[in-house]
Chains A and B, each alone.
Chain A
Amino acid sequence: MINFKNVVKEFSGKPVLRGMNLNVAKGETISLVGTSGAGKSVTLKHMVRLLEATSGEILIDGENILDKDGPELARMREKFGYLFQGAALLQWMSVFENVALPLRENTKLSDKEIEEKVVSVLEKVDLLAAAEKLPANISGGMQKRAGLARAVVTEPLILLYDEPTSGLDPVTSRTIDQLIHDLQRDLGVTSVVVTHDMISALTISDRIAMLHQGRVSEVSTPKDFLKSENEVVRNFLDSQCISSKFFEEFPERTLS
């Protein structure tokens, strides 16, 4: 579904991605983890061409997004839903209007049909009661859920999450994890999650990719990731006090 082929990205001559290779299969959830500056968010932004790669190829369903422009790029972007780190809701619009925006702008649905879709998505993220509130008047967790509702309302094939649990308390973080897992199960979309939060990565992912110095250092299933002998992975897990017996110690973390 998504293939990165030797992607290099430099900012003012400084390399951030140094020949990134990554394959994401259709329908899977993959988490990109790593320290700050490893290139996680930069990788995510390249998938929708918010950033231009210095060299390499990024294939989405076999089409190189780096070759696309104008309407073709817009058509490819319609495959994506994107949850930004700060939710990126338009501040002068209510939660309802924010979620309805992509439908109003890009479809010919009637107002009634749009309302039905938005209400249904807001119910899924448990935000119907706050539909008429402005983003500034709701909590960080609610903003993330509103951002998630906006990302899924167009029924995309691929969902990208940029730090979905950052800045949230542990309880709200786990609620967001459950929500991501439920959406994944119900919609069957391909998901790429950038996160620092290893608990989140371990519980929602089919595979975890460890990024280090602009390259993928290891890709494996959560269980194999915990047992990895890779020094970078071990250091990262130890820094968050995650033991190799995480799933045995916390069986309740497994999402259903």
Chain B
Amino acid sequence: MINQNTYECPECCSMFARWGHSGLAFCQLVGQAVILNMRALMMFPQMFRKQSRPEVAYQLFFTGIRSLPVLSVVALFNGMIFAIQTGIELQKYGQEVNVGGAVTVVMLREMGPFMTALIIAASVGASIGAQLGTMTVSEEISALEIMSIDPVRFLVMPRLVGLMVMMPLLTIYSNILSIAGGAIIAITQLGVELQAYLDNVVIYAGNKDLYTGLFKATVFGFIINMVACHQGLTTKGGAVGVGKATRSTVVVSFLVILVTGFIITKIFYG
């Protein structure tokens, strides 16, 4: 399914030649991962097929509902931490009433989608990488191919649906909880009235910030699935290989999310 004729660096003497060959190998890797996920994206209409519906529903449940406990704790405390840090500074200028606005803008634009993506990459992404990796080394993927079952339609597409649908919804949920966490600190530590905090939230919450954040979340969902499925489906070398694939899924996802997040911010706000 994924081209096995991977680019191999020939034995060269020159350091520059080695860099060049490594660059080519990297380009092939990225190309494979993008094509794999684009194929899954093109198969979205098939999610309503009778055969696909149970797996799609399970992936929505697994990505969405199963992530809620950890996401709730992280989002709530993230909002509280941010409110304490900004509140203390704002208090020096008598502007602590604006803490609601600060929390809202930061969460909607950046921290909401970013934090959600990191948690989902570390939990769901790692799980996908490990599961597909294990299936690859135990020849379950080969078995699917021989049964003329396309692993992209059977495995990658449902996971992509789960991540691209659930990431924006989880981001909205984590934004709400973070703002609630900020409210707890504003009321109990900074002496801000709840109504004043909420008024401030409404004043600062812009549509553009919300849409940009949700767009980011959707793109991050795509990235997590792309990295996790590619790592899983190219796993080699038994249990050690599965471990490496899982680790690479988390590390590469974090890095790509960080860089992509910056690029999107630059496009919309730069």
Contact = CB atoms under 8 A, between A and B. Distances in A.
Interface string B210-251: 000000000000000000000000000000000000000000
B148 A84 contact: no
B193 interface: no
Nearest to A83: B143
Interface string A59-88: 000000000000000110110101011101
B149 A50 contact: no
A50 B141 CA distance: 10
A51 B135 CA distance: 17
A51 B143 contact: no
A84 B143 contact: yes
B interface, size bucket: 10 to 19
Contact of B138 (A74, A75, A88, A101): A88
A74 B144 CA distance: 11
A239 interface: no
A102 B139 contact: no
A85 B137 CA distance: 12
Contact of B4 (A51, A80, A105): A51
Contact of B143 (A88, A104, A106): A88
Interface string A101-113: 1101110000000
Contact of A77 (B4, B146, B154): B146
A125 to B, nearest CB: 17
A174 B4 CA distance: 36
Given A80-B146, A101-B147, A105-B147, A89 B140 contact: yes
A52 interface: yes
Contacts of A105: 51, 147-149, 154
A46 to B, nearest CB: 12
B85 interface: no
Given A82-B143, A84-B139, A86-B138, A102 B8 contact: no
A83 to B, nearest CB: 10
B142 interface: yes
A50 B140 contact: no
Interface string B112-142: 0000000000000000000000010011101
Contacts of B143: 82, 84, 88-90
Interface string B46-60: 000001000000000
B139 A12 contact: no
Given A12-B8, A51-B4, A52-B4, A102 B142 contact: no
A48 interface: yes
A48 B147 contact: no
Interface of B: 4-5, 8, 51, 135, 138-140, 142-143, 145-149, 154
28 contacts: A12-B8, A48-B146, A50-B142, A50-B145, A50-B146, A52-B5, A74-B148, A75-B148, A77-B145, A77-B146, A77-B147, A84-B139, A84-B143, A85-B139, A86-B139, A88-B143, A89-B140, A89-B143, A90-B135, A90-B140, A90-B143, A101-B149, A104-B51, A105-B148, A106-B147, A106-B148, A150-B147, A154-B147
